[in-house]
Chain A
Amino acid sequence: MAQAKEEMKILTANRLRNGETVYYTAAGEWSPYVSQAKVAATPEDIDALTKIGAAAYAANLVVDVNVIDITPGGDVKPSHIREIIRASGPTVRSDLNKPAAPSQRS
């Protein structure tokens, strides 16, 4: 249970070219799916994410870069409602919502 008290964070941004909401993955890429986000749980790892975000911003790949909290345990789920909505889409247009993970077929 000690781990639940720890901070857990992921790195998110929007792609400069098309504005798409994206998450930084363990593979070192930017994915539209929150489930693929690389999770940082130690101060060192969080610091590393922050630096990666700053570098990607400086390289004009992404904008609006933020390291955000996630809720510990199970699937990667942002803590704050703003980020929950950002991850899936407007709550009033479920037809346009994005799944947390890519569908198997694509």
Chain B
Amino acid sequence: MAVVDSNGLIADGWARLADDAPVPKGGSVVVSFARLKNEHNSLFSAATKVGVDIPSDVNLGELEPFLPRLGVIVVRFATMRDGRVFSVGRLLRERYGYAADMRAVGPFIPDQAQFLLRCGFTSFEVDDSYPVESFKRSARAYSVWYQRATDRAASVAELRQGALDGSKS
């Protein structure tokens, strides 16, 4: 298991905690959403940093109360075609104002990298055999975009109008 961002491998301090494993004193742990809901008091007081692993059909309203205290949200692809992940990413960032690390995990392919980045994902959990070079290239496949997304990059329409306004002034 490795963790990457758009530039390649990164160090990762998060440890996954099984639902029946005791909470360590200190350290950074990622727990299931069920455990977060049941044990949030003890979790937040014991561990230094807490993250949660959520499925893509999560009820975001249920997650909302915990957001300010989470250090990572791991969003899980059910299959590589699980497009809900992209909406969940955008909503967490744009609607709920979640600002810490947001990580994709599951059978996504390198070719989805740039779209995930545009929807607010910041890190990616992959197998050790993952084609990281392809992932990095895909993260840069496009230099401009037709539409706005979470990354707030100006859309082509905005660039055009900026260019037009500029030429007028």
CB atoms of A and B under 8 A apart anywhere in the complex? Answer: no
Chain B residues packing against A (C-beta within 8 Å): none
